Structure 1
Amino acid sequence: MSKKIDVIVDIPALQTNQNFTYLVDDSLENLVKVGSRVLVPFGQAGRPVQAYVISIESQANLDDLKNINALLDPEPMLNSELISLSNWLADQTYSFRANVLRAMLPNLLKLNTRRYVLVNEEKISKNEVLDLLGVEQANDLRIAELTHMQQAKLNEWVNQGVVELKYAIADTAKIKTEMQVYPNLSESDLKIEVSQLASNATGQIKLLKLLGTLDEDGIAQKKLINEEKIGRSTIESAEKKHWIIRKAIEKYRNPFQSKTVQSDSALILNSEQKIAKNMIDRQIKSKDSTPILLEGVTGSGKTEVYLQSIAEVVKQGKTAIMLVPEISLTPLMVNRVRARFGNQVAVLHSALSDGEKFDEWRRIVRQEVSVVVGARSAVFAPLQNLGIVIVDEEHSSTYKQEDTPRYSARDVAVYRARTNKCPVVLGSATPSLESRARAEKKVYNLVQMKERANKHDLPTIKIIDMRKELNSRADETFSKGMLTAINDRIAKKEQIVLLLNRRGFSSFVMCRSCGFVLKCPNCDVSLTMHVDTHSMRCHYCGHEEVIPKACKNCGSDKIRFYGTGTEKVEKQLAKLVPDAKVIRMDVDTTRRKGAHERLLDRFGNHEADILLGTQMIAKGLDFPDVTLVGVLNADTSLELPDFRSAERTFQLLTQVAGRAGRADKEGEVLIQSFNPDHYAIKLAQKQDYEDFFIKEMYLRKLGKYPPYFFTVQVAVSSGEEKTAAKVAFDIVNKIKKVVSDRSVILGPSPRSIAKIKQKYFYQLVIKFQKEPGLDQVLRSIRDEAQKQYRQGISISIDPEPQVFI
């Protein structure tokens, strides 16, 4: 009996943002399930398209339905929970459902469809077709790139049957295989074969004797070749003689780079940790999904509470997700979780290769693991029977996806916990104001850990007023106090962490004769100098050019490099503290796979005295010999035109301060600032989150910002500035018709960086509390954006944006 299925086709567009129904042939009806990827004929031409099965029905109204072409995977790559989640998330983020489903899956689980021209050489010569279209278009046809004359002629040929338009499918989901060798002789036959060989047939004799030691699992061919030094020709000869059987078997790629970890066991919890653990245990037992905000100072032992809570659900046969905000933190957390749970752990983050992500995903689908650790996208891990979700450093802005679909992993974690009737733990030393406000209103349960697990005091924090330092002609990057402290720690063989909120060598190049600043030709930003590549580089579009020797505007050679980047600080350290060994950790030094882990391992092994880095080193690092943390430019994030700038500065300073004095040695933190009296810096010095929360909430209420108001950002881009502005003003007029006077519309106005990659950007922000008509008008704006996109206009809608500049 045939079944019919509803699918979402993998084409993110208004016209396809709905269910399409197909038939499943009898031979596949028991294999196709909700969450399966299938290949379906779509449209009048029957173009083969990937689709996701969202529901299955028994035989009913089967007339005029097309059959699916193929089932793409032996097991569903999504489960029914994630299929349901995709519907909710598409509504929340003003996205097409296909975009959400695509975002959930690893890159390899996507089809490449190519249309090509098949020539009937009995009716027309192949050269005539190639003369019209060219080789590239004939093999990979992109109609929109053809001229009107080419399109007209091609249509004429299609109608005459001279050519056909065909589709070729490439499924990128490749399984890694490894050749395995199995013995095919009994013990007595092996002895006979050995006795019949000449004494100089050493390779064959060695192979036969080795075969006698193997069990039914056999041995990897590459191990025979590389470790046992048996030649490939010997192995092939053995196969011809039927001594062995060779089979290609599936082999998972190893995302852990073959690194082994020492297993450990649960630690004894202190009184604060026990209170937190008991609250989580009660909610696990009662299936209470009320979010738990775990507010614990740096070093209070939150990770141990996480691990023991995971152990509780694993013991019950359930599964767990743990999210960390930065890729740089993932190896550290993964190693701690693996030490506790071994091979039950899978990892998902963007630093893995596509193949590694694909294999980890299939391990999860096949229920071979119980715990998934990863960055933002790991929230979509296809685990069954979810028992707990943990979001570490829940305040981090990196949990928000900046591209379509613009989801918050924290919100998805809360939703999945509610669906699975299990607790979600949001942990942080400096919770986001939104989460803490919900805890104040009893929407979240709050548990606090105010002491470090080792009972040691938090590090001493000192503020260095850089205004006074510069007046005394000190170095613009390093104050005298900072240099003295660095030299003191190096003399004591202790380690130092230095934080700089920037990457590159210098911020910009300016001519002292005419004031000209070298800018990117594609974007409205200055180019950044990079010494390692001897170039000026744009961090938005990637444009690169040589470092100038003279001003491009007036020809003067009086050009100077202004600002401070990590490369420049590294060079300054080499001059000021020549005996110090420095590891620089920023976006540029961590591009290569595994670079985060290698650099941190080197620092942990005392191959360097100083770890110099950007914000990626501010969280989660735990090195016992780090006794000094220096913040070189505390004001960088403070002066940004963003209502969260004070909150982010406070969080950053508090987090990085927590890297000092985590073991037996006393820690010290030095913060250099040109604005030492700002409340965010003064309260970070006191590590006083409660006072900061009260102060910042008062200012948010005055400004009508979250958590008192919701926000939505609408951005418009176009190659023509006038067009972008006009569309943005049209959108404002539509919104004004449906919102009340209580709401606030900011803009439209050019973005702070108004031009990126030859596109001009305008934006508006809506601040509101209850506006029932706003949701519908935003959906209509999204739908209309499809037509405008064809005219070179892009419109994006971002609910609760994390970046306003």
Structure 2
Amino acid sequence: MLAQVIVDVPLMQTDKPYSYRVPKALAGLMQEGIRVHVPFGKANRLIQGIVVALSDEEEPTDIKEIAEILDYRPVLNQEQLWLAGQMRKTVFSYKISILKAMLPNLLNSTYDKILHAGAGLSDEDRREIFATKEEVRFSDLDVDNQARVMRLAQAGKIEVEYLAKDKKQIKTEKWYRVCHERLSQYEISNRAKKRQMLKEELLKQEEPAPLSQLKERYSSEIIHYFEENGLISVWEEEVSRAQNYFDNVEASQALTLNPEQAIAVREITSMIGRESQTYLLQGVTGSGKTEVYLQVIDQVLQDGKTAIMLVPEISLTPQVTNRFISRFGQQVAILHSGLSDGEKYDEWRKIERGEAQVVVGARSAVFAPLKNLGAIIIDEEHEASYKQDSNPRYHARDVAKLRAEYNRAVLVLGSATPSLESRARASKGLYGLLTLQKRANPLARIPRVDIIDFRDYIGRQETSNFTPPLLEKIQEKLARKEQVVLMLNRRGYSSFVMCRDCGTVDQCPNCDISLTLHMDSRSMNCHYCGFQKGIPHTCPNCQNPSIRYYGTGTQKAYDELQQLIPEARILRMDVDTTRKKGAHEDLLGRFGRQEADILLGTQMIAKGLDFPNVTLVGVLNADTALNLPDFRSSERTFQLLTQVAGRAGRADKEGEVLIQTYNPHHYALAFAKNQDYEGFYRYEMAIRRNLGYPPYYFTVGLTLSHKSEEFVMKKAFETVAVLRGNLTEYIQILGPTPKPVARTHNLYHYQIILKYRKEDNVEQVLNQILDWTQEKEQKDLRLIIDNEPQQMM
């Protein structure tokens, strides 16, 4: 038997399957989707690989042999192997990188199997494999014994423990059961008081219990005495490290749907299992999209199928996950970046073993190894965070479309403010369009939105984040014991530090970007490369002490608000205050319990939050993303303002929204004020048509990076020459130009943008360029090819 193996070397030369002979002892165990160790290169060093195909072709005499098998069942299924092949065509990443993106981190780590002799092991096997040891390393065995171990592991006769980065991959807990008949007849000396106490205690115990509970009260020596004499039986069980997410969540029942919701559920569920169909569910904030998702998933489960629910990372709060856990219980698995590697691995195993039928998670959860998918739902589908910004650069929406086609499943894209690309497809009939135009709570009304012009207050007050009308409204709400949400989409204390004498701005030495002041750590930080230094007291250029802080961030706004309204209880929520595990949940929990009056934060507070006592939302500065050099800046601003406005007035109390800006007449703000998505869509589409941007054109971004600006500029022009020589005159090639932030991490960046409507050779030519940059002459040249880039910065 021959195995086709993709090796873990992400290079042009190795982006293909290599043939390896399967040892006879392993032939019955070998399956596609299993990880193996294989000798590779002239030095024959052992590296990890993934078996993607098997065949019975005649073996060449010089073919190398698989050294060992790492799994006794596949870690990647047939659908995932197919999916990697499809993605390879559009993400311009090597196949091994795509395959590894589908696996939990612990399976991509260097690790070894530690084997323990199980209770059902024969004396012969015990002597052959373990000799006198209690445990052995799998890698120390020869191939024949490795094969024997795999078969015994499949039969449950050997316990397998994985070690990765000095952490146990599988967490287990010891349990014990009382052997009542033997214990009741067993005589214990009256002098052994502790043993007598434990005997009396155990005789009253009916159910199994964790051994750790006994160890809290009795020594290991006493417990071992009871185990050794057959008075208790002890065994190990795998423990889910993510179980605490499921504890103390009360079960809930389906809600009564209003007519709009009922139509959406009926339309979506009618297609499950029949054919792949994509729906755009466009519903105003608070219209009950989540209840639609829950009832669609409930029908999917009744049909014996499975479902994936994707939510943007910043929206993955307990408020969101708890709604799915309360409805579907232990059938749910959770996958997002807030989990430790061990917790993610436990949830992945739960899915892979078929114990979970619903996966709730962020972007990478789209790869969850569920079988027989009936529905994939992407909430807030317009969010840029669904596009992976590192290799492999996939968009979860595109991957979900492929999986829906493979499984003949429905794909639901939900949003109050859909991306222009999705809405355009729905307008053309490529997606089904379903709308929810009313809030689900009949007492809840769309909040009133007012725009405050910062310019009206220039010279009338000291520089401040808070205009008098906003302060007055905040105090009014607090007097009524109502809550306030304030958003400023910039973290830190000040945006930059500048000398008032010579104009020098304190910049990062590695990046062409100013350093941000953080008062809590008393440091200047680069938000690109992580560089950090102390706060300067004199200008680094002229040594003058006339150095001042300019701009603002959430930390500065928090300090200012405390001075202006000292009686207010304020919570700050940004990347800096939520670094610690569980901090995100803790802050929202405190606000939900009304232990705080004001929640101040970045865009992470704009989505997925449902607090009935919030009656005022304030946007401190709507201009932070409005004038960025990105054709999507107006769309992003409109979406963010509409989303954050939707946090107000979600119950029976009327909501208000105040937006502070220096650009009160900008069309994105005008349409957000009126909550007018249709008007914004028509206006922005006309601009996109005139400028030739998505959804009218496809785009590809190429970024070349190198430590030498002269070298990277030369290679960028060579790249353009290759593009022009191999593509038609109908494609627009913009650049090369330095990126808006031209240097980060001590590398200079040049970008090229391709715009086209139809170009048959794009994929082939871009792969040719990707391979060319791997050649020796391009030493240290980095190339990123981003299909449909979501950020132009």
Settle same-fold status: TM greater than 0.5: yes
Shift of the alpha carbon at 1:562? 0.2
Structure 1 segment 41-440 matched on structure 2, within 5 A: 41-58=39-56, 60-61=58-59, 63-112=61-110, 174-183=168-177, 185-187=179-181, 189-193=182-186, 195-198=187-190, 201-214=192-205, 218-226=208-216, 229-254=217-242, 256-257=244-245, 259-285=247-273, 287-440=274-427
Shift of the alpha carbon at 1:757? 1.1
Alignment RMSD:
1.9
Q: 3-state SS of the aligned residue for 1:677?
A: coil
Q: What does residue 19 of structure 2 align with? A: 21
Return 5+ residue gaps in structure 2 as ranges.
113-161
- The separation in 2 between residues aligned to 1:576 and 1:181, in whole angstroms, is 57
- The separation in 2 between residues aligned to 1:95 and 1:789, in whole angstroms, is 21
Shift of the alpha carbon at 1:58? 3.8
Sequence identity (%)? 50
Q: 3-state SS of the aligned residue for 1:687?
A: coil
Change (3 A) 1:209 1:787: farther
Q: What does residue 552 of structure 1 align with? A: 540
Q: 3-state SS of the aligned residue for 2:773?
A: helix
Structure 1 segment 521-560 matched on structure 2, within 5 A: 521-560=509-548
Shift of the alpha carbon at 1:213? 4.6
| Maintained 8 Å contact 2:173/2:239 | no
- The separation in 1 between residues aligned to 2:36 and 2:202, in whole angstroms, is 43
| Maintained 8 Å contact 2:163/2:169 | no
Q: 3-state SS of the aligned residue for 1:786?
A: coil
Q: 3-state SS of the aligned residue for 2:215?
A: helix
Q: Which of 36, 42, 46 is 1:38 aligned to?
A: 36
Q: 3-state SS of the aligned residue for 1:726?
A: helix
Structure 1 segment 501-650 matched on structure 2, within 5 A: 501-650=489-638
- The separation in 2 between residues aligned to 1:202 and 1:184, in whole angstroms, is 19
Query: Please, what TM-score do these two structures have when normalized by structure 2?
Result: 0.91
- The separation in 2 between residues aligned to 1:213 and 1:49, in whole angstroms, is 55
| Maintained 8 Å contact 1:628/1:669 | yes
Change (3 A) 1:329 1:112: closer
Shift of the alpha carbon at 1:181? 4.2
2:739 paired with 1:745: no
Return 5+ residue gaps in structure 1 as ranges.
115-168
| Maintained 8 Å contact 1:297/1:450 | yes
Which letter does structure 1 place at the counterpart of 2:8?
D
- The separation in 1 between residues aligned to 2:536 and 2:101, in whole angstroms, is 42
- The separation in 2 between residues aligned to 1:572 and 1:208, in whole angstroms, is 64
Which letter does structure 2 place at the counterpart of 1:382?
P
Shift of the alpha carbon at 1:55? 1.7
| Maintained 8 Å contact 1:502/1:566 | yes
Shift of the alpha carbon at 1:27? 3.6
Which letter does structure 1 place at the counterpart of 2:635?
E
- The separation in 2 between residues aligned to 1:184 and 1:65, in whole angstroms, is 56
- The separation in 2 between residues aligned to 1:610 and 1:28, in whole angstroms, is 63
Structure 1 segment 677-696 matched on structure 2, within 5 A: 677-696=665-684
- The separation in 2 between residues aligned to 1:370 and 1:542, in whole angstroms, is 40
Q: 3-state SS of the aligned residue for 1:723?
A: helix
Which letter does structure 1 place at the counterpart of 2:50?
Y
- The separation in 2 between residues aligned to 1:290 and 1:258, in whole angstroms, is 32
Q: 3-state SS of the aligned residue for 2:343?
A: helix
- The separation in 2 between residues aligned to 1:737 and 1:288, in whole angstroms, is 42
| Maintained 8 Å contact 2:314/2:607 | no
Q: 3-state SS of the aligned residue for 1:716?
A: strand
Shift of the alpha carbon at 1:736? 1.3
Which letter does structure 2 place at the counterpart of 1:190?
L
Change (3 A) 1:258 1:336: closer
Q: 3-state SS of the aligned residue for 2:272?
A: helix
Q: 3-state SS of the aligned residue for 2:66?
A: coil
- The separation in 2 between residues aligned to 1:98 and 1:550, in whole angstroms, is 51
Per-residue CA deviation, residues 486-506 of structure 1 (Å, 9 max, x unaligned), is 001111111111000100000
Change (3 A) 1:507 1:255: farther
Per-residue CA deviation, residues 54-89 of structure 1 (Å, 9 max, x unaligned), is 122346446443332222123211111011101111
| Maintained 8 Å contact 2:89/2:763 | no
Which letter does structure 2 place at the counterpart of 1:304?
E
Structure 1 segment 466-481 matched on structure 2, within 5 A: 466-473=454-461, 475-481=463-469
- The separation in 1 between residues aligned to 2:582 and 2:201, in whole angstroms, is 36
Change (3 A) 1:179 1:311: closer
| Maintained 8 Å contact 2:720/2:736 | yes
Per-residue CA deviation, residues 353-388 of structure 1 (Å, 9 max, x unaligned), is 111111111111100110000000000000011110
- The separation in 1 between residues aligned to 2:317 and 2:592, in whole angstroms, is 16
| Maintained 8 Å contact 2:613/2:651 | yes
Q: 3-state SS of the aligned residue for 2:588?
A: helix
Which letter does structure 2 place at the counterpart of 1:198?
N
Per-residue CA deviation, residues 81-114 of structure 1 (Å, 9 max, x unaligned), is 0111011112111110001011111110024399
Shift of the alpha carbon at 1:34? 1.9
- The separation in 2 between residues aligned to 1:46 and 1:219, in whole angstroms, is 50
Per-residue CA deviation, residues 460-479 of structure 1 (Å, 9 max, x unaligned), is 00000111122432643101
Q: What does residue 754 of structure 1 align with? A: 742
Which letter does structure 2 place at the counterpart of 1:34?
E
Change (3 A) 1:63 1:219: farther
Change (3 A) 1:791 1:255: farther
- The separation in 2 between residues aligned to 1:357 and 1:766, in whole angstroms, is 38
- The separation in 2 between residues aligned to 1:24 and 1:450, in whole angstroms, is 60
| Maintained 8 Å contact 1:466/1:672 | yes
Q: What does residue 125 of structure 1 align with? A: none
- The separation in 1 between residues aligned to 2:425 and 2:592, in whole angstroms, is 38
Shift of the alpha carbon at 1:328? 4.2
Change (3 A) 1:697 1:231: same
| Maintained 8 Å contact 2:188/2:196 | no
Shift of the alpha carbon at 1:240? 3.8
Change (3 A) 1:484 1:661: same
Q: What does residue 151 of structure 1 align with? A: none
Shift of the alpha carbon at 1:789? 8.4
Shift of the alpha carbon at 1:182? 3.2
Which letter does structure 1 place at the counterpart of 2:550?
Y
- The separation in 2 between residues aligned to 1:788 and 1:491, in whole angstroms, is 69
Per-residue CA deviation, residues 513-540 of structure 1 (Å, 9 max, x unaligned), is 1111111111111111111111111111
- The separation in 2 between residues aligned to 1:257 and 1:389, in whole angstroms, is 22
| Maintained 8 Å contact 1:108/1:174 | no
Shift of the alpha carbon at 1:221? 1.5
Query: Please, what TM-score do these two structures have when normalized by structure 1?
Result: 0.89
Shift of the alpha carbon at 1:35? 1.4
